[in-house]
């Protein structure tokens, strides 16, 4: 069975749709693309699509991923990939979702299990760069950072310091609704104990009035190297094309 991996953006107003609505958007686009997408069996068959790590509602992304299985009789040689298929599917998606690249991949480890680290660009409102930099310095210099977590009605303390791969402060950032703001770049591990952006902000900027968050990269680690689930050479020239 052929599997295609799509890399796409989620920017602008489309960031406010949740995962279920996003799945419906993709199902509709794939149906209109006329790709021979495989379906599940049973009373209510659904397209065989596999999403990567969930992105919180309201967050943007420069690189999300989706794996799509094609039917058993699909001819690999006749299925376009790369920029051609990306250009075919992008106009079928809402504004803010641009397919950057599509490639044939081997059926193997799931995206959710494969991604080990995510890079984030976080605009933190209501906190000055100086204050935020002091807090980041304290956090990164600590050998242990305990966080109380509740999972399945069990409360435990976990050391989340190994999850903090990188924290850097830049800024200031200006927004109409802010008196002051900072730009924070973060690399957070996804594997246990893992750390979510919301948890990071609660830890270092609980008084933040607003934060605009963008996932810039997702990383797979192996043999001492780091790579993205699908490499991107250039941005496509067809990003402005849209379905009606």
Q: Does 232 or 188 have the greater pLDDT score?
A: 188
Average pLDDT over the chain, rounded to an integer: 88
How distant, in Å, are the alpha carbons of 122, 124, 136, 233 from that of 198? 11, 11, 15, 31
Question: What are the residue boundaries of the structural domains of the chain, listed by start?
Answer: 3-113, 114-227
Fold of 3-113: Alpha-Beta Plaits (3.30.70)
Residue 242 has pLDDT above 80, yes or no: no
Residue 81 has pLDDT above 80, yes or no: no
In this structure, which CATH number among 3.10.450, 2.60.220, 3.30.70, 2.60.120 belongs to the domain 114-227?
A: 3.30.70
CA angle 123, 125, 127 (to 5 degrees): 110
pLDDT tens, 82-107?
778 899 999 999 999 999 999 988 88
Residue 117 has pLDDT above 70, yes or no: yes
Residues 65 and 230: beta-carbon distance below 8 Å: yes
pLDDT tens, 127-169?
999 999 999 999 999 999 999 887 777 888 999 999 999 999 9
């Amino acid at each position: 069975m052929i599997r295609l991996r799509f890399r796409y953006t989620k920017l602008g107003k489309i960031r406010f749709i949740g995962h279920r609505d996003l799945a419906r958007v993709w199902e509709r686009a794939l149906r209109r693309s006329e790709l021979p997408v495989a379906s599940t069996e049973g009373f209510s068959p659904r397209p065989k699509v596999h999403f990567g790590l969930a992105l919180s509602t309201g967050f943007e992304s420069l690189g999300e991923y989706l794996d799509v299985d094609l039917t058993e009789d699909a001819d690999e040689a006749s299925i376009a990939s790369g920029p051609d298929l990306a250009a075919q599917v992008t106009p079928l998606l809402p504004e803010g979702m641009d397919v950057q690249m599509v490639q044939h991949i081997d059926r193997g480890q799931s995206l959710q299990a494969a991604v080990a680290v995510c890079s984030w660009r976080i605009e933190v409102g209501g906190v000055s760069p100086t204050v935020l930099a002091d807090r980041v310095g304290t956090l990164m210099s600590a050998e242990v950072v305990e966080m109380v977590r509740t999972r399945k009605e069990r409360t435990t303390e976990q050391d989340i310091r190994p999850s903090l791969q990188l924290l850097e402060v830049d800024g200031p950032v200006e927004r109409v609704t802010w008196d002051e703001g900072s730009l924070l770049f973060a690399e957070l591990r996804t594997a246990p104990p893992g750390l979510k952006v919301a948890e990071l902000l609660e830890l270092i900027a609980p008084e933040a009035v607003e934060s605009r968050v963008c996932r810039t990269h997702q990383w797979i680690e192996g043999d001492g190297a780091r790579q993205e689930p699908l490499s991107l050479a250039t941005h496509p020239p067809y990003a402005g094309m849209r379905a009606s």
